[in-house]
Structure 1
Amino acid sequence: MKRREFIRNMGLLGGSMALGLNGIPLKAFSSPLLLNIEQTNGKILVLLQMNGGNDGLNTLIPYEDDLYYNKRPQIGIKKQDVVALNEFTGLNPAMAGFRNLYEDGKLGIVQNVGYENHNRSHFRSTDIWLSGSDADQNLYDGWVGRSLSYMYPDFETDIPEHPMAIQLGAVESMLLQSPIGSMSVVFENPNTFYQMVSGSIADDDPPESTLAGTELAFLRKISSQSTNYASVVKEKADKGKNTVTYPNTSIGKQLAIVASLIAGGLETPVYLTTISGFDTHANQLTAHAKTLTQLSEAITAFQSDLETTGMADRVVLMTFSEFGRRVEENGSRGTDHGTAAPLFVIGKSVSGGIIGGNPNLVNLDKNGDLLHQYDYRQIYTTILQDHLGLNKAKTEAILGKSYEKLNLFHKSAETGFSFAPLQLNKVYPNPFQYSAAFEYELKRSIHIRLSIFDLQGREVAVIYDGLQNAGRHSQHFSNRLATGTYIALLSGEGRQSSKKVVVV
């Protein structure tokens, strides 16, 4: 069995892929040897998946377009009931709470989001949105998983102290898979997660030198790190307190957990939540209103909670669904699978308003469905660069090509992922025998310490200790270490950056 498949089968342990170093359990290392989650820019992205295919025309309503009512005589939202945002466009009355977000400039709406040759299968279109692929392209990992693998390229050795991603649910999403495996932990409740894995650390007896022994050692590493994450998740959940009352719904409970983890100090940069009920083939008015009410109430409570706890500057929430619905209602007072639909981005840093015009109900595709105006990967590109702070080159590598950004945020975040004032960039050669050069970058003049640790967490060599100016630097190291694997650690101002090094 491949180790990636092995990981996927370890659902009991939460899906974490962060490993110990060469079989040494995570607990054997002191805190400075762990990569801080602030290798991102300190921002947080909360994704909310609307399962089933949300009817965009009855969510964001072109209430002055007579064609809308002609094509939807039974299920069209009456003009007098629409929550008007401007003289042409308004929200479903079930989303009244979104009006305050909109008026406060914290709700960004992108109209007509989709992709070329839109697929109307729930499963295939969901895969496209999760992977960030073209309609005729099959990828087996997610755009978020790939993004995290770029943010944490050495995560298997430089283990993040906090999970890289958290999914609230039971079955891990493709969204959080990367080319090197899962990047997330998955649980429905922090306490349940902790109880499941708190007793799962394997014994410390060395495994036999066999294939089975190698896999047992691998299992122990997974177990150790999963337990570590369960502990820190429970600690932060207990510390963080919700300051508002959330609706007693599935999505309300999920967002309440996310808010408490953020308020408690968990530095995980990506969360995934889900709400179902959008596959409205029949009796849509009642069912859709109920689901949109749950969505609106949970999100408005979440945003209020973040602002009360002082976390709103760091967090952005984005909704997405696999497709919109057909323009014309069907014979069961519902709508069938369609194409483009609006997408919501919520947060204090969001440049509120509507991007794009109302859907064109005359110029439709060959199936009579809406043409998309914006490719969904334009939103991904904008969030990756202007919120999470990845540079253009990395974003293009993640999504496979360049996409034009949208004006979704007040100002762009810093490019690059390094939020810390220092970064250990390269050790060359690596592995090395007699000597090596350690290259690093300082954002400002600070006192740094560049040293080497063994896998028991003991400092075995100091390469440089002193004040240095901002800029790129290189330090030469003449080897006097025994053959083996070590960790090079650059530290300063309470921040660290590290690399695995091998002496041969």
Structure 2
Amino acid sequence: MCQHHFSGKKASKEEKQIHDKEHASWNRRSFIQALGLTGVGSVMLGATQISASKPSPLSVALSNSENDNILVIVRFKGGNDGLNTIVPVYDYDSYANLRPTIKHAQNDLINLDANFGIPNYMTGLESLWGNGQMKVVHGVGYQNQNLSHFRSSEIWASAEPVDFVSTGWWGRYFEDLYPDYIISPPEVPPAIQIGSIGNLIFEGTDNNYAFSVANPEQLANVAQNGTQHDVLDIPDCVYGDKLLFMRATANTTYQYAGVINEAYSSAVNAVDYGEGELANQLAIVARMIKGGLGTKVYMVTLNGFDTHANQVNDHRTLLEDVSNSMKNFYDDLSAIGIQNKVLSMSISEFGRRPYENGSNGTDHGAASPVLLFGPGLEGSGFVGEHPDINTWDANDNLIPSTDFRDVYQTVLTNWFCLENSVVNGILLNQTFENLNLGLDCNNLSVNDFSNTTQIKHTPFYQNDNTFIELTMPVTAHVDMRLYNVLGKEIGSLKNEILFAGKHTIDVKASIRNSLSYGQYIYRLSIGGVFYSKSIIIK
């Protein structure tokens, strides 16, 4: 039952001000969350958390190039045990001595070559390997491995293992490349993420750039129905007003529901994926790709790899899902001949220790293999040097032999064909090694996206006032305007030539009219290039 905030007696002026500010705060917060203007927007649908956000420059960059390649990131959440995934047959005795209870028997392995094998229940990967569609990068990690799930996940997402960085490797690219995302979004969702809500990988300074859902059922609901919320059966009261606002705003932000629905409905799965957690996600992703959605990056999530106990059974269930699902995924794509355009890559926050613990499991470790799948790899094989399983660091962990950012750099450079200067920016102005993954841009003539402008504009707040600091690299004419959240222009903040250097713009003083407390958007035009960002008027 709905209840009003006030009783029958007349509210005092102070109570009314508090009430109005509460509503303004609720509206602002709800709008920010629903639209994703600052960070990931989240709403609850039933018992499921859904996140939606404005789109990013990724689709613009790739759609403007001749490269229509797609990346599917498969996250093994919890820390995958690499030694029981890719077994070092070349030193089987050492491996078996370290894992007397949880080891794979040597006659229960499928040998990929003379040195490495996989469990015999991973027949799907045997098929991919035999068809030249699988590569294994040995010993992937970073120096001084952090053994916290949360921190190491942040490190893999941000590509920065030392200092905390609040943006992700994809998010930085999106933000720099398409600075006017609030005003001019692309037509299709550039990234779709199932699970891992809150992960930094698609996070920019002000926005998360992925269309994100908590589970495959929720994405299937979007794809099948093209909408989320009932906006008709709403109670007539203050609560109902809030509910209507939230539902309508969330529905509006799901502007991509229509194109997702169209792509999903225009394709079918050509194979039976079964009922595994990863299987359900990849089946949906396959229909999106086959239906011509145009999204370039997908991230799916398989949970449960934190195998401190009962590893033999639990890990088998996970690896069977991975093996069967990846084979089915590429068989599905092959039905219409688009398998060559899709690369899949596993990530996991860390590996496990080389020796088993006392609970028939393994504890948090370091180096672990990255698995890549797809015909674009142009042949199966191993990349890099496997860590010596008898040589450990001070925490009894395997020592990484390949930096995880080497994998990122190779995918960005040799799969998406991005210029080195762009890749350096994505990877925080550091250069890493290009690995021999067999990926080839085929000398495609792609746009040079390295010429991203160096205009910096940052809102800041001081003494209940709102300011924008603008850093100009050169002298140029600046046209900056303020809009409300409905897109109505409020007024001009700056329209003049500004010299190179820093400039501070007082928003309230520039508008010269009373501005209500809440959310606004400013849009900046310099030399025909547009930028936009959300701000708060206090």
TM superposition score normalised by structure 2: 0.69
Three-state SS of the structure 1 residue aligned to 2:330 is: helix
Which of 39, 63, 86 aligns to 2:64? It is 39
CA 1:165–1:306 in 2, change beyond 3 Å: closer, same or farther?
A: same
CA 1:254–1:338 in 2, change beyond 3 Å: closer, same or farther?
A: same
**Deviation for aligned residue 1:288:** 0.9
Distance 2:415 2:264 in 1: 24
CA 1:371–1:251 in 2, change beyond 3 Å: closer, same or farther?
A: same
Distance 1:83 1:17 in 2: 45
Distance 1:45 1:413 in 2: 17
Structure 1 gap segments, 5+ residues each: 20-33, 202-217, 434-454, 457-483, 489-497
- Correspondence list, 1:76-95, <5 A: 76-95=103-122
Report what 2:185 is aligned to: 159
**Deviation for aligned residue 1:73:** 1.4
- Correspondence list, 1:40-439, <5 A: 41-65=67-91, 66-134=93-161, 136-169=162-195, 171-187=197-213, 188=216, 189-193=218-222, 194=225, 196-197=227-228, 223=250, 226-351=253-378, 352-400=380-428, 401-412=430-441, 418=447, 431=478
**Deviation for aligned residue 1:485:** 8.8
Distance 2:412 2:531 in 1: 30
Report what 2:40 is aligned to: 8
**Deviation for aligned residue 1:11:** 3.6
Distance 1:280 1:224 in 2: 39
Three-state SS of the structure 1 residue aligned to 2:255 is: helix
8 A contact 1:7–1:17 mirrored in 2: no
Distance 1:153 1:415 in 2: 26
- Structure 1 residues 251-260 or 304-313, which shifts more? 304-313
Distance 2:246 2:359 in 1: 52
CA 1:266–1:403 in 2, change beyond 3 Å: closer, same or farther?
A: same
CA 1:260–1:104 in 2, change beyond 3 Å: closer, same or farther?
A: same
Distance 2:523 2:426 in 1: 30
Structure 2 gap segments, 5+ residues each: 1-27, 45-49, 233-244, 455-474, 481-486, 489-521, 533-538
Residue identity opposite 1:371 in structure 2: I
Distance 1:7 1:358 in 2: 39
Residue identity opposite 2:103 in structure 1: G
Three-state SS of the structure 2 residue aligned to 1:181 is: coil
Distance 2:336 2:266 in 1: 12
Distance 2:253 2:445 in 1: 29
Three-state SS of the structure 1 residue aligned to 2:90 is: coil
CA-to-aligned-CA distance 1:344-400 (integer Å, 9 cap, x gap): 011111142101233302222122211100000000011111111221111111111
Distance 1:5 1:425 in 2: 22
Residue identity opposite 1:384 in structure 2: L
- Structure 1 residues 94-103 or 331-340, which shifts more? 94-103
Distance 1:154 1:414 in 2: 30
- Structure 1 residues 184-193 or 230-239, which shifts more? 184-193
Residue identity opposite 1:17 in structure 2: K
- Correspondence list, 1:24-35, <5 A: none
Distance 1:166 1:409 in 2: 26
**Deviation for aligned residue 1:411:** 1.6
**Deviation for aligned residue 1:262:** 0.5
Count of aligned residue pairs for this structure pair: 412
Distance 1:104 1:346 in 2: 11
Distance 1:37 1:425 in 2: 18
Which of 54, 57, 71 aligns to 1:17? It is 54
Distance 1:331 1:152 in 2: 51
- Structure 1 residues 190-199 or 278-287, which shifts more? 190-199
8 A contact 1:247–1:294 mirrored in 2: no
Report what 1:480 is aligned to: none
Distance 2:72 2:231 in 1: 29
8 A contact 1:94–1:290 mirrored in 2: no
Three-state SS of the structure 1 residue aligned to 2:89 is: coil
8 A contact 1:386–1:413 mirrored in 2: no
Residue identity opposite 1:129 in structure 2: W
CA 1:334–1:424 in 2, change beyond 3 Å: closer, same or farther?
A: closer
Report what 1:22 is aligned to: none
CA-to-aligned-CA distance 1:388-441 (integer Å, 9 cap, x gap): 122111111111111011011342365886399xx9999x966479xxxxxxxx
8 A contact 1:114–1:372 mirrored in 2: yes
8 A contact 2:351–2:367 mirrored in 1: yes
**Deviation for aligned residue 1:141:** 1.8
Three-state SS of the structure 1 residue aligned to 2:331 is: helix
Report what 1:448 is aligned to: none
Distance 2:70 2:393 in 1: 37
CA 1:402–1:36 in 2, change beyond 3 Å: closer, same or farther?
A: closer
